[in-house]
Amino acid sequence: MKELRRPSTMPVLEIRELRLELQNGRKRALPVVEDVSLQVNDGEIVGIVGESGCGKSILSLSVLGLLPPAIRVAGGEIYNKAGQALNRLGAPDIRRIRGKEIAMIFQDPMSSLNPSLTVGRQVAEAIRLHEGCSRREAEERTVAMFRKVGLPRPESLLNEYPHRLSGGMRQRVMIAMAVSCRPQLLIADEPTTALDVTIQAQILALMRKLRDEDGTSILLISHDLGLISGICDRVLVMYAGRIVEQGPAAEVLRRPSHPYTSGLLASIPLPSKKGSKLTPITGHVPALHERGDGCLFASRCDYATEHCRREAPAFWSAGVGHYAACHLLAQEEGGKVYAGS
């Protein structure tokens, strides 16, 4: 029986007070992500959850230096396990890290795979680029990776084109490519989008297997709290470019301490809610030019006060390793402030 790797205390990714800005021509720069801090430890699965437009995907792109030209890192640092500030590396250096130390699975495998090349060639070329091995060895490793991710007929799949595969098979090819060079960290951005529930469960089981057997750390980005709860060790809830709550996944989802997290949970259809009315969160995520100085959720929060609209809340303790940025929690906890995030 294969021995499982034990997590170490060294983070494979650490983000400190990251700020991303959209350069808006002659107008002032608009904040896209504000003061986000997080870390992913060795062998850990961390989830980032929130509505579309909250900044989850753009945050993940910043780790690998894949930001659109109009968006720049305006402050903070992004460190890998070796202590390198990734946001300060030149293009050649970040390319060497991309795919080798940190790999990414994108939302839509059909747009990420080259339709004019066989899937076998695409995975083999990624292996040759980072490992410097021969064509034959790269093909053998590709077959092994196809087998590892549960693809049928791995040898014959070498010569298949992406359009001939199902959505679930294309996603497995993307995972095979991402983990082919044994990265320390795998970033998965909505990896089960547009897949049916059975295939979703298979993809999540595969990711858990990669963590348990290979020690791969995973940063999982999703709008689906149900998906996050089934696989993650810790969860961070993101809203309008800021982290508003974080902690152990089971604790945050069982006892949410931020009104936004509570609203997300109340809007999820569950078997236990059969026949009952779902409670949607009214309003919308504020656009970049609508974000002010106070709590960005105040316009949608039933508990908001003038204090909330005027001043952004700090992080307050809601339990062991559980923090939320909410003035209401500050009143309940009687002044236990959490410095950092």
Q: Checking phi first, is residue 8 left (phi over 0); if not, alpha (psi -120 to 50) or beta?
A: beta
pLDDT-derived band at 25 (thresholds 50, 70, 90) equals: confident
Q: How far is CA 294 from CA 4, 144, 251, 297, 309, in A?
A: 46, 52, 27, 9, 5
Residue 156: CA atoms inside 13 Å, Cβ hemisphere, count?
Answer: 4
Helix, coil or strand: residue 140: helix
Tokens 């992913």 appear where?
40
Domains of the chain: 11-101+183-338 (3.40.50.300), 102-182 (no CATH)
Q: Say whether pLDDT at 27 is over 50.
A: yes
**What mean pLDDT is predicted for residues 234-243?**
97
pLDDT-derived band at 337 (thresholds 50, 70, 90) equals: very low
**What mean pLDDT is predicted for residues 261-286?**
78
Q: Is the C-alpha dihedral spanning 200, 201, 206, 207 positive or negative?
A: positive
Rounded to the nearest integer, the mean pLDDT of the chain is: 88
Q: Say whether pLDDT at 333 is over 70.
A: no
| 85 against 328, higher pLDDT | 85
| 26 against 290, higher pLDDT | 290
Closest CA to 103 of 167, 224, 191: 191
Q: Report yes or no: 102 and 187 within 8 Å, Cβ to Cβ.
A: yes
- Measure the CA–CA gap between 331 and 181, rounded to whole angstroms: 49
How many other β-carbons are positioned within 10 Å of the β-carbon of residue 115? Answer: 9
**What mean pLDDT is predicted for residues 175-190?**
93
pLDDT-derived band at 117 (thresholds 50, 70, 90) equals: very high
Element (H, E) at 84: none
The pLDDT score that the predictor gives to residue 272 is 58
Q: Say whether pLDDT at 339 is over 60.
A: no
- Measure the CA–CA gap between 319 and 111, rounded to whole angstroms: 42
H helical segments located in 132-221: 135-148, 154-157, 167-179, 197-214
In tens, the pLDDT along 188-238 reads 998 887 788 888 888 889 999 999 999 999 999 998 888 888 899 999 999
Query: For the stretch 223-250, what's the b/e string if a residue is b when 16 or more beta carbons lie within 10 angstroms of its beta carbon?
Result: bbbebbbebbbbbbbbbbbbbbbbbbbe
| 40 against 320, higher pLDDT | 40
